[in-house]
Amino acid sequence: MSTGWLIGSAVIAVIVAPLVGGLLRGIDRKLTAHMQGRIGPPIIQPFYDVIKLLGKKPMVAGRAQLVFAYGFLALIVTAVIFFVRGQDLLVVLFILFFGSLCLPLGALSVKSPYSQLGGHRELLQFLAYEPILLLAAIPIALKAGGFPIANIFEYGQPLLPDLWLTFVALFIALAIVMRKSPFDISSSEHAHQELVRGVITEYSGPYLALIEIGHWYEMVLLLSILGLFWVVGSLWWLSIIIALGSWFIMLIVDNVNARLTWSWMLKFAWGAGVTLVALNILFINLGWM
Amino acid sequence: MIDSLLGLSIFFPIIAGFICLGIKNHKARGSIVFLTAVVLITSSIFFLRQGSFPIEYSPAPTWGWVILVLNYVILAYFLFVAIKDFAQRGISRHNVLTIALTLAAGIPLAIFEFSQAPHTPLEVAPTLYIDHLSVIMCLIISIIGSLIAVYAIRYMKDHEEHRMHLGELKETTQPRFFFFMLIFLGAMNGLVFANNLIWLAFFWEVTTLACYALIRHDETPIAITNAFRALWMCLIGSVGFSLAIIFLWNSPLNTISLTEVINSGALAYPVLLLPIALLCLAGLTKAAQVPFQSWLLGAMVAPTPVSALLHSSTMVNAGVYLVLRIAPAFQGTHLSTLIAIYGGAVFLITAILAISQSEGKKVLAYSTIGNLGLIILCAGINTSLAIAVGIMLLIFHAISKGLLFLCAGAIEHHIWSRDIEDMEGIATKLPVLTGITIIAMFSMLVAPFGVLITKWGAMEAASGIGVWSTLVLVLLMLGSGATTVFWAKWIGRFLCHSPVPGRAKKEPFIPLYHGILLILIGCAVVLSVLIAAVYNGVIAPGLTEAGYNAASAFTTSAWFLKSSIGIFAAWPIFIIIALALLIPSLATRAKPEESHASYMCGENVEIGTDEFVAVADERTQLKTGGFYIESMLGEGNLNRFVVPIGVVLLVILFVLVVI
User: What are the tens digits of pLDDT across the range B305-334?
Assistant: 999 999 988 999 999 999 999 999 999 899
Q: Which residue of B has its CA nearest to A135?
A: B477
**pLDDT (tens digit, 9 = 90+) per residue, B128-162?**
999 999 999 999 999 999 999 999 999 999 999 99
Of chain B, the percentage scoring pLDDT greater than 90 comes to 69
Are A89 and A147 spatial neighbours (Cβ–Cβ below 8 Å)?
A: yes
Name the least confident of B485-499, B526-540, B579-593: B579-593
Summary mean pLDDT of chain B: 91
Average pLDDT over residues B482-510: 86
Chain A residue numbers with beta carbons less than 8 Å from the beta carbon of B439 are: none
CA atoms within 13 A on the CB side of B392: 31
Q: Which residue has the higher pLDDT, B360 or B558?
A: B360
Peptide bond into B221 cis (omega under 30): no
- Surface-to-core class of residue A122, CB atoms within 10 Å of its CB (0-12 exposed, 13-18 middle, 19+ buried): buried
Among B378, B398, B370, CA closest to B548? B378
Are B412 and B304 spatial neighbours (Cβ–Cβ below 8 Å)?
A: yes
Predicted confidence at residue A2, as pLDDT, reads 61
Whether B2 contacts chain A with CB within 8 A:
no
Average pLDDT over residues B268-295: 93
Average pLDDT over residues B101-123: 90
Phi-psi category of B393—alpha, beta or left, where left has phi over 0 and alpha has psi -120 to 50? alpha
**A1 pLDDT exceeds 60?**
no
C-alpha to C-alpha distance for B63 and B14, rounded to whole angstroms? 15
Predicted confidence at residue B231, as pLDDT, reads 95
Q: Which of A87, A111, A128 sits opposite B496 (nearest CB)?
A: A111
Among B452, B342, B446, B350, CA closest to B397? B452
Confidence class for position B182, pLDDT limits 50, 70, 90: very high
- Taken in order B248, B249, B253, B259, the sign of the CA dihedral is positive
Question: Could you say which DSSP state residue B107 is in?
Answer: H
- ipTM given for this complex: 0.94
Whether A168 contacts chain B with CB within 8 A:
no
At residue B561, the 3 state secondary structure works out as strand
- Surface-to-core class of residue A27, CB atoms within 10 Å of its CB (0-12 exposed, 13-18 middle, 19+ buried): middle
Phi, psi of B430 (to 5 degrees): -125, 65
Chain B residue numbers with beta carbons less than 8 Å from the beta carbon of A87 are: 567, 569
Going from the C-alpha of B416 to that of each of A166, B178, B410, the distances in angstroms are 49, 23, 10
Neighbours of B627 (CB within 10 A): 19
Confidence class for position B572, pLDDT limits 50, 70, 90: confident
- Surface-to-core class of residue B594, CB atoms within 10 Å of its CB (0-12 exposed, 13-18 middle, 19+ buried): middle
Partner residues linked to B646 by β-bridges:
none
Of chain A, the percentage scoring pLDDT greater than 70 comes to 97
* Helix A205-227 and helix A89-108, axial crossing angle in degrees, nearest 10: 150
- Surface-to-core class of residue B305, CB atoms within 10 Å of its CB (0-12 exposed, 13-18 middle, 19+ buried): buried
Confidence class for position A191, pLDDT limits 50, 70, 90: low
Whether A161 contacts chain B with CB within 8 A:
no
Question: Could you say which DSSP state residue B11 is in?
Answer: I
**B194 pLDDT exceeds 80?**
yes
**pLDDT (tens digit, 9 = 90+) per residue, B332-367?**
899 999 999 999 999 999 999 999 999 999 999 999
- Taken in order B88, B90, B94, B96, the sign of the CA dihedral is positive
Chain A residue numbers with beta carbons less than 8 Å from the beta carbon of B610 are: 111
Average pLDDT over residues B539-556: 91
Q: Do A57 and B594 touch (CB under 8 A)?
A: yes
Whether A74 contacts chain B with CB within 8 A:
yes
Are A47 and A22 spatial neighbours (Cβ–Cβ below 8 Å)?
A: yes
Confidence class for position A195, pLDDT limits 50, 70, 90: low
Chain B residue numbers with beta carbons less than 8 Å from the beta carbon of A71 are: 580-581, 584
Neighbours of A99 (CB within 10 A): 26
CA of A262 vs chain B CAs: smallest distance (Å): 12
Biggest CA pair distance of chain B: 89
Among A94, A124, A120, CA closest to A109? A120
At residue B604, the 3 state secondary structure works out as strand
Q: Which of A61, A101, A109 sits opposite B484 (nearest CB)?
A: A101
Q: Do B598 and A61 touch (CB under 8 A)?
A: yes
Are B35 and B12 spatial neighbours (Cβ–Cβ below 8 Å)?
A: no
| pTM (2 d.p.) | 0.95
Phi, psi of A183 (to 5 degrees): -105, 15
